[in-house]
A and B are shown apart, each in its own frame.
Chain A
Amino acid sequence: MGKKTAAIVGFSEWKPQKKWPTSMFSLEAMAQLAAETLADAKFEKHEIDGIVIGGVPESPVFAPSAVAEYLNLQTSFNEIVDLGGASPAGMIWRAAAAIEVGVCESVLVLCPGVPSPSYRDAKSKLLPTMIYMGGDAWGSPQSQWEIPVGLVAAVPSYAMAAQRYRAIYGYDEEILAKISVQHRDNAQANPNAIFYGKPITVDDVMISRYVADPIKLLEIVMPCDGGGAMLITSAERATRTPHRPTFVSGYGEFMTHKSITNMPDFLHSPLAAASERAFRMAGMRREEIDLACLYDSFTITVLLAIEGAGFCKPGQGQAFVREHDLRYHGDWPLNTHGGQLSFGQPRLAGGLSHFIEATRQIQGRADARQIAHCDRAFCSGSGGMLSEQIAVILEGA
């Protein structure tokens, strides 16, 4: 089997909320997430010698040192990861790799997702940068050809991938709707999910309005506030933690473009190359996976991820979804927490939620939605316009 040198031993996850009741500086949120994660793993703060973050609004440059200083940590591994929605996946494997090469022993991965008061003043300036994906700067190709014709944010890009899928393979909107519905069903067993208590049917999805054809409203993530963190440590230290060590046993990352216009083939995601590497590193076959936690920004993202990760051949994703039950009690459990589609997408922590759920299932901490047998989970991260693609395989000790 795969590498058993770095393991996830604890985490913290905040219940997503549509609107966080108070604003909180991201440094404050990181301190709180760190405290909760250390408590979960029964670790002392002085044992931490690495941090990985996705950014600090209060300190856009020198960000890792701002965090180390605020938490009063002495660290030998400091990293900021800029891979959009795939950032948490990138943070996790970079932390594991740092432990494997021996530059540090215990790394905190911190993903606050609450409104920071430091954003408020800059809001009018930040909003365009966010919807333009940072492409509105002078000299950027997006500022010359894409933003002027209306290609902004993620929906139209993913819609073009879906439209291409429709033209090449055919497209059954009810099958895509099933992906949304079964994510929502999983959320009915997760009291922390933003759509807990709010099941939907295929008809609900079918009659929801088109946002960018062929993507409908109920096929899109629910952006919200929240947060998450993880602690990754060496195999040796992992043995003395209260939870089953969850090894980062294989990983891969692949990227080919920024804007969807420049994606070589809309139907062949860079996830394929990332997954090949991850499975090879873990020494595992697809059939040995007990749980899939796939980044789900849209239903088409899930469909392309099932194919890209090699769980079926390209073009056969719809047949795969038709033939399988994706619920926590089904034959091919997927995003048992509800995914970002139904658990919610608490900003950067949305991409971490897949890893927290996989860890929770492997550690036997998933309560009502615990799957019967969970030793191995495949997780993916997807950032940008199907650009930054990451595959990580987790395995219980």
Chain B
Amino acid sequence: MMLAYAENGRPLPLVAPISQPFFDAAREQKLLLQKCPRDGFFFYPRSHCPHCLKTDWSWQPARASGKVYSFTIERMGQDPSQRARIPFVIAVVDLDEGVRIIGNIVDCAHEDVRVSMAVNVCFEIIDNMPLTCFRSVSAT
């Protein structure tokens, strides 16, 4: 199986069976994370807890809020499929649950993005597929 591209040319998530619940919830603007009864939350969806390698984890709703750990403004568009939308902001965010996820910062002027900025997770739906985004808390 290979990457699929949206009508606007953007690559869509190539969903694996283990992560289907994440994407199903995301389509409804809900963030689900896996939680291990011993080691707590983890990301990205995996068959085994990355800390203890046990499989008795469960899906749990997450608060969907966190802080920007770092970010960049991508201006080159080395990926031809992303070139049409440069410049755009890529950020890694530390969620309140203690895990780090990646997405694009939307609805915020690029020059206003800061490390430690409080954000909420949301999902941009393209061709019925959810892509992870963040919105600045102060902007909402």
The interface of chain A, by Cβ under 8 A from chain B, is 128, 131-132, 136, 138-141, 143-153, 155-156, 159-161, 163-164, 166-168, 209-215, 260-262, 266
> In the complex where A148-B11, A150-B82 touch, is A213 in contact with B73 (Cβ < 8 A)?
yes
- Contact between chains at A138 and B2 (CB < 8 Å): yes
Shortest beta-carbon distance from B103 to chain A in Å? 5
Residues of B within 8 Å of A164, CB to CB, are 69-70, 115
A138 to chain B: closest residue by CB: B1
CA distance A240 to B32 in the complex (A): 66
In the complex, B25 has a CB within 8 A of chain A: no
Residues of A within 8 Å of B76, CB to CB, are 155, 211-212
CA distance A159 to B78 in the complex (A): 14
Residues of B within 8 Å of A132, CB to CB, are 79
- Contact between chains at B44 and A136 (CB < 8 Å): no
CA distance A377 to B69 in the complex (A): 35
- Contact between chains at B3 and A143 (CB < 8 Å): yes
Shortest beta-carbon distance from B51 to chain A in Å? 13
The interface of chain B, by Cβ under 8 A from chain A, is 1-3, 10-16, 19, 44, 69-76, 78-79, 82, 85, 88, 90, 92, 100-104, 114-116, 129, 131-132
CA distance A128 to B81 in the complex (A): 10
- Contact between chains at A210 and B13 (CB < 8 Å): no
- Contact between chains at A261 and B100 (CB < 8 Å): yes
Tell me which of A136, A138, A144, A152 contacts B82 (CB under 8 A): A152
CA distance A262 to B19 in the complex (A): 17
A144 to chain B: closest residue by CB: B13
Tell me which of B19, B85, B100, B116 contacts A144 (CB under 8 A): B19
CA distance A50 to B103 in the complex (A): 45
- In the complex, the 8 A-B pairs of residues with the closest C-beta atoms, listed nearest first: A167-B115, A159-B72, A138-B1, A164-B70, A143-B14, A160-B70, A213-B73, A152-B79
Residues of B within 8 Å of A260, CB to CB, are 92
B129 to chain A: closest residue by CB: A148
Residues of A within 8 Å of B85, CB to CB, are 150
Residues of B within 8 Å of A153, CB to CB, are 78-79
CA distance A168 to B78 in the complex (A): 28
CA distance A45 to B112 in the complex (A): 62
Residues of A within 8 Å of B12, CB to CB, are 148
- Contact between chains at A160 and B79 (CB < 8 Å): no
Shortest beta-carbon distance from A212 to chain B in Å? 5
CA distance A362 to B19 in the complex (A): 53
- Contact between chains at B74 and A156 (CB < 8 Å): yes
CA distance A262 to B116 in the complex (A): 18
Shortest beta-carbon distance from A258 to chain B in Å? 12
Shortest beta-carbon distance from A265 to chain B in Å? 10
